[in-house]
Amino acid sequence: MPEAPQNSPKKSPEAPQTLRGTRDLLPDECRKFRFIEDQAVKIAGLYGFEEIQTPIIEPAAVFKRSLGDTSDIVSKQMYLFKDLGGDDIVLRPEGTAGVARASINEGLSQLLPLKLLYRGPMFRYERPQKGRYRQFYQVGTEILGVEKPQADVELILLAQQFLRSLPLEGEIRLHLNTIGDSESRADFREKLIKYLETRKNELSKDSLDRLYRNPLRILDSKEESDRRVVAEAPSLKESLNDTSRAFFDSVQEGLKDQGIEPYIDPLLVRGLDYYCHTVFEFTSNALGSQNAVLAGGRYDNLISDLGGPKTPGVGWGCGIDRLVLMLKELPVNVQPVAIVPLGDDAEKEAVRLTQELRLAGITCDLGFSGNMGKRMKRADKIGAKCAIILGSDELAKGIVQVKWLASGTQKEIKRGEILQHL
């Protein structure tokens, strides 16, 4: 499918426009989105994952209870409104919490362990920028019911294989860290707050807001003033208990056994309250400062925090919008066959022939009007591999003319042998 014309007419100021941070996906971009999603489904299927779809709208409690009131998503970015029945409704800002809610509502704990894949649009009210929109698209995977670090390793292997299956610009790099269990994080949180209090006057406004609500988020701040402060902060590694150290060692050993040497990033913490132990990101040097393309981690308390049974979990989400920006090229799209009738009698036969070929699984294009010149130009425009030309002479002889557009060669074919020839 050709891209939208560069000289398309100017937008009418009277016509309604898309909302800020949203956009129309035209056919060429839809093809890229579909290719990425199809690759995710294909690769996840090799690992035994099955697809789940959750609603785009959810009760607000799903995200307030799971993401935490101190997270940026809940405090600043959620599309929250009351529906006509007076219920608090949210446009889903991410996929994991909805999957966790579904596992409780649908009694999926009886089927553990579960390997699930989701995909679809998400919504966050934030400043639009390159590759980041208020309506954006994700594909993600979750493993529920496995407390061993092997699940973390498998999800990272799946993520890497998925990204490597795409023709992407730039170098992909795995960043890995641990934020330990709740005991380790509580100890580190106390030490971090004490340190940051001594340098409050150097912190950015956002970090000051997070100091007592969510101090770990300050560690991955991109503000230069914050980075100077964080460079001398206590290390989370020093607060890890034996359980947390052993878990992280097992994840690293599992990756090393598969030939993967991640970059251990002590400042990687992720921004959601439900994470514990392993956190990771795949980044690209092709995207500038907003360089994360896939990220995730472990969340052993998420489902129980939502009112379900104690169920360990680990997962990742991937932004399709950013991957589209990194695509170099796609495999050649299916090339259609163009049907070019000449005259009224040929028009009727062309309709019959077109449907015959379509029923046989051959993609066909039949222009609705125009002389031969216009129809052949259309055949070139849609990237047709050949044009089947039939007029009154061809009808009388029971043949068609097949012109292969790449080479320009043309051949007479009996009408009844066209399928075999194609």
Across the beta sheet with 276-284, the strand order is 50-51, 114-123, 135-144, 313-319, 292-298, 276-284, 172-178, 263-264
The pLDDT tens digits of the residues spanning 317-358 come to: 999 999 999 998 877 678 899 999 988 888 899 999 999 999
The pLDDT tens digits of the residues spanning 106-154 come to: 999 899 999 999 999 999 998 888 788 999 999 999 999 999 999 999 9
Average pLDDT over residues 280-300: 89
Confidence of residue 2 (pLDDT cuts 50, 70, 90): very low
Per-residue confidence (pLDDT) for residue 9, from 0 to 100: 52
Confidence of residue 371 (pLDDT cuts 50, 70, 90): confident
Per-residue confidence (pLDDT) for residue 375, from 0 to 100: 87
More confident residue, 129 or 4: 129
What's the mean per-residue pLDDT of the chain? 90
Distance CA(380)–CA(306), nearest Å, equals: 56
Residue 178, number of CB atoms within 10 A of its CB: 28
The pLDDT tens digits of the residues spanning 17-76 come to: 999 999 999 988 999 999 999 999 999 999 999 999 999 999 999 988 877 666 677 777
How many Å is the Cα radius of gyration of the chain? 28
Per-residue confidence (pLDDT) for residue 288, from 0 to 100: 72
Answer for the pair 144, 108: CB distance below 8 angstroms, yes or no: yes
Average pLDDT over residues 150-172: 96
